[in-house]
Amino acid sequence: MTPESTTDSGHAPDLMDKLVSLCKRRGFIFQSSEIYGGVGSVYDYGPLGIELKNNIQQVWWRDMVFRHNNIVGLDAGILMNPEVWVASGHVGAFTDPLVECRNCHRRFRVDELPEIEAENPTDQQCPVCGTTGEFTDPRQFNLMFKTFMGPVEEESATVYLRPETAQGIFVNFKNVQESARQKVPFGIAQVGKAFRNEITPGNFIFRTREFEQMEMQFFVKPGTEDEWFETWKERRLDWARSLGISNERLRLQKHGSDELAHYCKDASDIEYQFPFGWQEFEGIHNRTDYDLRSHQEHSGKKLEYFDQPANERYTPYVVETSIGLSRALLVVLADAYDEEEVENSTRVVLRLKPSLAPIQAAVFPLVKKDGMPEIAEKLAEDLRGKFNIFYDAAGSIGRRYRRQDETGTPFCITVDGQTGEDQMVTVRNRDTLDQTRVPLSQVSQYLHEAIHATDPHA
Ligand code: GAP
């Protein structure tokens, strides 16, 4: 993209509109229940979106669980005993102050309207309808979704859709530590759905009401938590870079004391420079022993660790890393989107890291005759299982290349008239546009090496 056509962040000024349109057109992301007019800030992931999401999740899981012998996985239920959310502080404190304009009935979080927060919100002008003095007094709004368990809809049957996956980890601390025979320091990692009744969701999949989190709670000896907090900030920043995200669009931001969540003594966000400004991408939290201690008190069950060599018993402290999977997907898409002029037309290309691309290679017969489709179909069949392969015989070869560029396919393999004679195919590189002749028998190895070259862990 040329510098004059970009914003400070280097993104195209209308990037979000372009992404929303591309995501729908190419089957990455659809609005939920679209045929009924949608539902507020919930999204469905289409054939390409689910592949990209799965790839990001797998990269996270490999990095967290496979590469650390002291981090193990968990998959806890979404519905939990409601007492969990009392102990965690979410029933009492997971709230946002909200004001409503009596004229247009739009609701705002007080903290996203700085000019309102500064003075008496009730005297201010509504940024949507312009009416002055019609705001309600701020009231606390709890972000947890409630439902009922069992056949009776009464207060005692209330359960919550979890607003974070972390609590499933805390309540299983003892189960996991003992069954997996882990010694402090060790971590528990989890990926799963979370739900928040956000007052102002928005910016496409940036802030939604249903989303997935990838969280890891690292249990450490009290007194070592600050050192571990620093270590995890660095590790997580390195991981973000390993996704291929531009370093200049990533930064660490420390929370001010007035911004800390109720369970934190310290926190930093990894922020990404989105087209709509610097915003949180991942949170790293120094959670002390707040959660384990609180669950001990409320459940009456000990959640301590016995350090045998030191003959010492303590409640571990926790350093948490918490990232939204769907938010990571938005970062990856926004960072990969590019446009360039090629042969007098605009080429839209997603420069996704090959190991993250939803389709790793497309196989084309140049034309639908002279035995080319048969060879191409067989090649595609041979490659399937090792790579996610897309076969396409429709339209001109130029159009087929462009379609794959838009979905981030790093390699396009074309069977042409020559292939029947020399058993070679042309492999076109999405980024360089170079075309290389590769023997049919070596295409699989070629792809493996090319993907591996950009990601040694793929
Ligand atoms: N367990 C700690 C926790 O949940 P958080 O800062 O509220 O901390 C962590 O959320 C991460 O979850 C955020 O950095 C973001 O990536 C993601 N996230 C939070 N709310 C979200 C929402 N409404 N939509 C999408 N992702 C969200």
Distance 457 CA to ligand 1 centre (A): 27
Q: Counting every residue, how long is the chain? A: 458
For ligand 1, atom 16, the nearest C-alpha belongs to 324
The predicted model gives 410-420 an average pLDDT of 97
For ligand 1, atom 27, the nearest C-alpha belongs to 324
The predicted model gives 266-291 an average pLDDT of 97
DSSP labels, 226-289: HHHHHHHHHHHHHHHHHTT--GGGEEEEEPPGGG--TT-SEEEEEEEEETTEEEEEEEEEEEET
Distance 376 CA to ligand 1 centre (A): 44
pLDDT band, residue 6 (cuts 50/70/90):
low
For ligand 1, atom 11, the nearest C-alpha belongs to 323
Q: What are the pLDDT digits (tens) for 426-436?
A: 999 999 999 99
Distance 42 CA to ligand 1 centre (A): 15
Best residue among 96, 203, 213 to mutate for probing ligand 1, ranked by most atoms within 8 Å of CB: 213
pLDDT at 297 over 90: yes
For ligand 1, atom 26, the nearest C-alpha belongs to 324
Distance 194 CA to ligand 1 centre (A): 9
pLDDT at 147 over 90: yes
Strand partners, 338: 349
pLDDT at 79 over 60: yes
pLDDT at 117 over 60: no
pLDDT band, residue 5 (cuts 50/70/90):
low
DSSP labels, 137-192: PPEEEE--EEEE-SS--SGGGEEEE-S-SHHHHHHTHHHHHHHTT--SSEEEEEEE
pLDDT at 111 over 90: no
Ligand 1 atom at minimal distance to the Cα of residue 213: 12
3-state secondary structure of 133: coil
Predicted local distance difference test score (pLDDT) of residue 41: 93
Q: How far apart are CA 48 and CA 358, in angstroms?
A: 6
Distance 280 CA to ligand 1 centre (A): 8
Residues with CB under 6 A from ligand 1: 164, 166, 196, 198, 207-208, 211, 213, 215, 280, 282-283, 320, 322-324, 326-327
Predicted local distance difference test score (pLDDT) of residue 130: 87
Ligand 1 atom at minimal distance to the Cα of residue 164: 4
Whole-number percent of the chain with pLDDT over 70: 96
pLDDT band, residue 456 (cuts 50/70/90):
low
Q: How far apart are CA 122 and CA 109, in angstroms?
A: 13
pLDDT band, residue 119 (cuts 50/70/90):
low
For ligand 1, atom 14, the nearest C-alpha belongs to 282
Predicted local distance difference test score (pLDDT) of residue 115: 59
Distance 323 CA to ligand 1 centre (A): 6
Q: Are the C-beta atoms of 21 and 209 separated by less than 8 Å?
A: no
Q: What are the pLDDT digits (tens) for 199-249?
A: 889 999 999 999 999 999 999 999 999 999 999 999 999 999 999 999 999
Ligand 1 atom at minimal distance to the Cα of residue 196: 23
Give the sign of the dihedral formed by CA 349, CA 350, CA 355, CA 358: negative
For ligand 1, atom 5, the nearest C-alpha belongs to 283
pLDDT band, residue 7 (cuts 50/70/90):
low
For ligand 1, atom 6, the nearest C-alpha belongs to 283
Q: What are the pLDDT digits (tens) for 350-398?
A: 999 999 999 999 999 999 999 999 999 999 999 999 999 999 999 999 9
Distance 431 CA to ligand 1 centre (A): 33
Q: What are the pLDDT digits (tens) for 311-342?
A: 999 999 999 999 999 999 999 999 999 999 99
Mean pLDDT across the chain, nearest whole number?
A: 94
Amino acid making up residue 306: F
Tokens representing 88? 């965690």
Q: How far is CA 89 from the centre of its chain?
A: 25
pLDDT at 455 over 80: no
pLDDT at 3 over 50: no
Predicted local distance difference test score (pLDDT) of residue 107: 85
DSSP labels, 374-437: HHHHHHHHHHBTTB-EEE--SS-HHHHHHHHHHTT--EEEEE-TTHHHH-EEEEEETTT--EEE
pLDDT at 118 over 60: no
Predicted local distance difference test score (pLDDT) of residue 4: 46
Any idea which of 248-252, 254-258, 278-282 has the lowest mean pLDDT?
254-258
Distance 353 CA to ligand 1 centre (A): 24
Distance 105 CA to ligand 1 centre (A): 27
Predicted local distance difference test score (pLDDT) of residue 448: 96
Distance 322 CA to ligand 1 centre (A): 7
pLDDT at 116 over 60: no
124 vs 307, which has greater pLDDT?
307
Q: How far apart are CA 446 and CA 192, in angstroms?
A: 35
Number of Cβ within 10 Å of residue 378's Cβ equals 13
pTM of the model: 0.93
Ligand 1 atom at minimal distance to the Cα of residue 207: 24
